[in-house]
Chains A and B, each alone.
Chain A
């Protein structure tokens, strides 16, 4: 247990100093507007700070230190060039309002060009007609997409109240639909691991505004009937939403736009290698088909005839402002850097190898762990630890035991349709040798689950802390020092 930074505080100790600070003007402001005591921030030296946060960092697993097969999260390598370009002063020190001063963006041509170019790249990768870079995370993109669907229907005078969502979907899908003012209808998963077509057709009707799909889905499967799904929706003038969480599987292999999707969000922190940062910031740009372009958020970057760029605020049908300015620009910058490095050929290669890695894991573990859907998977494979659970070893136990081997846990208990789900996504970053080590570890754990199931109860043993009491945390509510 580390001491808190507050506990290292000594009255009068300084980190950063500022020259010649004075309170010469303070008499100009009435005392009743002023704070009585300054905030009790720590009083520590710069070395204290460096040592404290360096030591804390060493208590984390990360991509840089560990294999991280966390399904659905696409923990691929984050190239350092992304960070280098993000430190360029021409971007880092650029005030967002600089684009709105006189001359229509003349002061920020480089930044506006970059936004335009990344939008063009995403349009080509996804087969969409336009993109907005405003949404600041995947769930924010979902909300944007649903607001667009809603604006489209309202503009057409359609009376629609429902969004159809498969039961295997990410929890953010229904949460976003609810905030956009829609009722959510859950569609069950069929025997082939994809959305049940009969139930889907039965649920479709004139009151359905849209369908939200993850493709490949959260079981890691590509629905071979996907074109029929979009076609059926369109018959009812329902729009089809593509949750791009799993885009890493199909770059250069298939495009959501071609498959009939009307609106899509991309998780830049997954497919396009921007760092997860211990929980954000993300980037969730949204792409649309032709018919949704009029509703895109304000502002939009436009290319003028003379090749320069400007911001358009005159969008009468727009859903409005999603973020204060142009989304998480510095995240977009990193993602674009990655796209340029890979190029069209590299993206296809990345998806190919991500899918090969997942299938390799599938093939090598299929005799030890149950596969609910034993067929070719996409970039992730979902096992069901039900065989092990019969001995009292659950998905959670296997996940915790992996931590002791220096391997991050797979995603557990998701999707909800698989009881003891262990969702494994190696990503294209990992070599066969690393994956072989992981396979070896998983096989060993399956064997121990047979011979000594109790051994799992004490795992993890080698981490900084062992299993923590989550119930006590919710009860204590100790949330600040």
Chain B
């Protein structure tokens, strides 16, 4: 049987050592009426059979389409050198580095990850990662409540609706009031937020670029929040931080985001990488694992998980969060990605995303009846208005080989005619032109 090395003789000798007649005797503590005979599942299969079966399932997914889906999750190029590193058994099959003497590799990579996240976001400290972008934003909200001892949150409507749904689930049973702050023409309505902000607000939650793709400079909003003692929290798209203004220089207090775009495959929704960074003065209020430097008994520089007194295995029900893990291997993927792409390559990736989207704008606006919402600058994602409900064009577009984007009516029923399209360095001009031509043809049929 696979993955169990015991020979009949081993079993015999071991049973003798434990003074039992049979393996069944090991399970005497299970009440008799609940002892189970056999699982109603097929017997085990060979490696070859299982591989062929799983491969067949994988072929039933439409990955051959040219896709412009984004909405917070993007198809970026993954450099070839990432997989050979992260599939090394020493990383892949290690546990959480609770024994620092035999985990310096994992620990140093976490320290480097934290450093890179700080450099991206303009923050001073980062944790070792959280499940994903949505849970990271939820944890930031909880953190702001611990810091300010307030319980009202202003949530800008530019924040990803998927995250907002998740946050609603998590906060249902807690004493939190979520108040929406609208955006208009892609920009946060300063007048409205000015009226909403008072000394009962724990934090203002922003997203840059917004879910709809628009870019803003939120420096003034951060100031407004600070004036009433509230924190400024921003969810960001890490690739955009190559060229778009970093939250640190806007005055943001806590930055979170989805790190999937940093070398992690789309993988039908996960695992992904939630990152969180903040100012040094708030470090002790931050949830999640954190790695720091220290020295060993011989005075050598070493790495170790630190500030653990905040966590659930010590604090139990008084812990800051129930999160017990980070996503170590995903954080490692991102750190190898950022090192491989490097300072210059990172800017190139960002620029190419921006360029593709600008090229697409021209092409899309040239199609009769199609208009890119263009009241605010964008990075790589566009909200596009069509003359017909976006849902209606999808079958024909798929027929032509394009997943043209995400119709926005799932979360915004009033935006039936709108579609969200994302562009990355992987798209060629030919693909973008091809999609636009297909769209024009399809629209002619309506």
Pick the residue among A21, A110, A339 that contacts B59 (CB under 8 A): A110
Measured CB to CB, the closest approach of chain B to A474, in angstroms, equals 5
- Which of A233-241, A285-293, A343-351, A440-448 lies at the interface? A343-351
Do A346 and B44 touch across chains, with their CB atoms under 8 A apart? Answer: yes
Could you list 9 A-B pairs, sorted by A, with CB under 8 Å? A9-B343, A15-B342, A85-B51, A180-B173, A280-B325, A321-B165, A356-B26, A362-B18, A467-B296
Give per-residue flags for B69-111: 1 if the beta carbon is below 8 A from chain A beta carbons, else 0: 1011101000101011101111111111101111111101101
Measured CB to CB, the closest approach of chain B to A343, in angstroms, equals 3
Do A70 and B95 touch across chains, with their CB atoms under 8 A apart? Answer: yes
Of residues 92 through 143 on chain B, the ones whose CB sits less than 8 Å from some CB of chain A are 92-97, 99-106, 108-109, 111-112, 114-116, 118-120, 124-126, 128-129, 131-135
With A21-B348, A147-B169, A226-B31 in contact, is A468–B294 under 8 Å at CB?
yes
Do A34 and B245 touch across chains, with their CB atoms under 8 A apart? Answer: yes
Measured CB to CB, the closest approach of chain A to B115, in angstroms, equals 4
Do B118 and A110 touch across chains, with their CB atoms under 8 A apart? Answer: no
Q: Which residues of A contact B415 (CB under 8 A)?
A: none
A463 interfacial by beta-carbon distance below 8 Å? yes
Excluding A34-B245, A328-B271, A477-B307, 15 further A-B contacts by CB distance (< 8 Å) are A4-B108, A16-B345, A39-B242, A60-B94, A96-B270, A174-B317, A184-B316, A222-B27, A252-B36, A281-B131, A324-B162, A329-B268, A346-B2, A363-B18, A477-B306
Q: How many inter-chain residue pairs (CB < 8 Å) link A and B?
A: 699
Pick the residue among A61, A171, A337, A345 that contacts B54 (CB under 8 A): A337
B444 interfacial by beta-carbon distance below 8 Å? no
Q: Which residues of A contact B295 (CB under 8 A)?
A: 468-469, 472
Q: Which residues of A contact B2 (CB under 8 A)?
A: 79, 341-342, 346
Q: Which residues of B contact A81 (CB under 8 A)?
A: 47, 50-51
A75 to B87, CA, bound (A): 17
Do B346 and A39 touch across chains, with their CB atoms under 8 A apart? Answer: yes
Pick the residue among A16, A100, A343 that contacts B43 (CB under 8 A): A343
Do A480 and B44 touch across chains, with their CB atoms under 8 A apart? Answer: no
Do B44 and A342 touch across chains, with their CB atoms under 8 A apart? Answer: yes
- Minimal Cβ-Cβ distance residue in A for B112: A5
A479 to B117, CA, bound (A): 11
A297 to B172, CA, bound (A): 14
Do B3 and A428 touch across chains, with their CB atoms under 8 A apart? Answer: yes
A66 to B99, CA, bound (A): 13
Pick the residue among A171, A348, A352 that contacts B319 (CB under 8 A): A171
A47 to B309, CA, bound (A): 39
B14 interfacial by beta-carbon distance below 8 Å? yes
With A98-B61, A136-B271, A362-B18 in contact, is A470–B296 under 8 Å at CB?
no
Do A474 and B26 touch across chains, with their CB atoms under 8 A apart? Answer: no
Please report the total number of B residues contacting A with Cβ < 8 Å.
197
Do B245 and A136 touch across chains, with their CB atoms under 8 A apart? Answer: no
- Minimal Cβ-Cβ distance residue in A for B344: A14
- Which of B5-13, B145-153, B198-206 lies at the interface? B5-13
Give per-residue flags for A294-325: 1 if the beta carbon is below 8 A from chain B beta carbons, else 0: 00011000000000000000000001111111
Q: Which 6 A-B pairs have the closest CB atoms?
A: A64-B89, A90-B58, A325-B269, A277-B329, A110-B60, A343-B44
Q: Which residues of A contact B245 (CB under 8 A)?
A: 32-35
Do A258 and B329 touch across chains, with their CB atoms under 8 A apart? Answer: no
- Which of A49-57, A199-207, A383-391 lies at the interface? A49-57
Of residues 15 through 60 on chain A, the ones whose CB sits less than 8 Å from some CB of chain B are 15-18, 21-26, 28-30, 32-36, 38-44, 46, 48-50, 52-54, 56-60
Pick the residue among A58, A92, A226 that contacts B267 (CB under 8 A): A92
Do A102 and B398 touch across chains, with their CB atoms under 8 A apart? Answer: yes
Measured CB to CB, the closest approach of chain B to A94, in angstroms, equals 4
Do B4 and A254 touch across chains, with their CB atoms under 8 A apart? Answer: no
Do B45 and A341 touch across chains, with their CB atoms under 8 A apart? Answer: yes
A355 to B83, CA, bound (A): 35
Measured CB to CB, the closest approach of chain B to A316, in angstroms, equals 14
B315 interfacial by beta-carbon distance below 8 Å? yes
B256 interfacial by beta-carbon distance below 8 Å? no
A159 interfacial by beta-carbon distance below 8 Å? no
Measured CB to CB, the closest approach of chain A to B367, in angstroms, equals 20
Pick the residue among B43, B50, B105 that contacts A56 (CB under 8 A): B105
B445 interfacial by beta-carbon distance below 8 Å? no
- Minimal Cβ-Cβ distance residue in A for B173: A181
Measured CB to CB, the closest approach of chain B to A239, in angstroms, equals 15
Q: Which residues of B contact A340 (CB under 8 A)?
A: 44-45, 50, 53-54
Q: Which residues of B contact A347 (CB under 8 A)?
A: 39, 41
A255 to B31, CA, bound (A): 12
Pick the residue among A121, A319, A352, A474 that contacts B23 (CB under 8 A): A352
Do A110 and B57 touch across chains, with their CB atoms under 8 A apart? Answer: yes
Give per-residue flags for B373-394: 1 if the beta carbon is below 8 A from chain A beta carbons, else 0: 0000100000000000001001
- Minimal Cβ-Cβ distance residue in A for B390: A102
- Which of B189-197, B227-235, B330-338, B432-440 lies at the interface? B330-338
